[in-house]
Amino acid sequence: MSQPRVLLTNDDGIDSPGLHALADALAPLAAVTTVAPATNQSGVGRERSKSVSVAEHDRGTAIEGTPADCVAYALRGLDAEFDLVVSGCNVGPNVGSYLLGRSGTVGAAVEAAFLGVPAIAVSGYHHAEFFPPTGSPYEVPAEATAFLAARALAGELPEDVDYLNVNAPIESEGPMRVTEPIGDYDTAVEPSGEGLSLNDTFWATAETNGSLPDLADCAALYPIGSDRRAIAEGEVSVSPFRVPQSVAGRDGLSGVVESF
């Protein structure tokens, strides 16, 4: 039986320690091919480029483009078939339905799913400092990724799941929980010099100036089973998704369009 093949990418760039930690964790499970952005591409979502440049790197292949570009290039431009795409490990959590659409880490997983390959998007968070400090270890996210990747490669995940969004603590190992994102998002428009500042409020305790909360203070604010509640309690959050987007309100809209 041939060895399974895993494509590894991220949005923090090919030199990110989170990417390296996942490469090491996945190596015993599969042949790992790394195709990642040459520079940091955080927050680009599933943006695609018309053209990209490709360069060899000590860790694999560096693309002057987005995470979705990396996935498209690898799945359609390389002479290889991949069984799984892993994206990460991101520096900081990716939770909440609004934020997921902006995440380049998640965008790579969505791109893979649209191209017919199951995927896992992985993010690491620090329970006290929110974003992992420079030099942080990524052993817990790497261990969680290897656990889920092994089961995905063995065909043990539900057939209707196209990709998983995983958020794992970096400083301690918590239990793993199945979660779903919630849509608590707002934005504040405020004067800033001669222009305007558009400040997201992803967290119920966050000020509109962009400050981040102490996760431990957020637990009671979010329902059990949500991805934000899970990371507020120091757990490994695993949210299953499928593509494409679901159609809603078709019957009710029919009466509107028929009057055109």
Domain of residue 105, CATH code: 3.40.1210.10
Residues 25 and 98 in one domain: yes
Residues 134 and 193 in one domain: no
Task: Let me know if residue 253 belongs to a domain.
Answer: no
Residues 200 and 135 in one domain: no
- Cα 168 from chain centroid? 11
pLDDT at site 97: 87
- Produce one character per residue of 95-119: b if its CB has 16 or more CB atoms within 10 Å, e if not: bbebbbebbbbbbbbbbbbbbebbb
Identify the residue with better confidence: 58 or 192. Answer: 58
Task: Let me know if residue 255 belongs to a domain.
Answer: no
Residues 236 and 110 in one domain: yes
User: Exposed/middle/buried for 70, CB within 10 Å: 0-12, 13-18, 19+?
Assistant: buried
CA distances from 236 to 124, 148, 204, 217 (A): 9, 11, 21, 18
Q: Domain total for the chain?
A: 2
Identify the residue with better confidence: 198 or 131. Answer: 131
SS3 156: coil
Residues 72 and 201 in one domain: no
Residues 80 and 142 in one domain: yes
Work out the number of other CB atoms within 10 angstroms of the CB of residue 5: 16
Residues 128 and 201 in one domain: no
Confidence band of 173 (pLDDT split at 50, 70, 90): confident
Residues 205 and 143 in one domain: no
Task: Let me know if residue 256 belongs to a domain.
Answer: no
Query: Whole-model pTM?
Result: 0.91
Residues 79 and 108 in one domain: yes
Over residues 38-94, the pLDDT tens digits come to 999 999 999 999 999 999 999 999 999 999 999 999 999 999 999 999 999 999 999
Dist. CA 186–CA 202, nearest whole Å: 7
Residues 140 and 97 in one domain: yes
* Range of the structural domain that residue 27 is part of: 5-179+221-241
Residues 105 and 193 in one domain: no
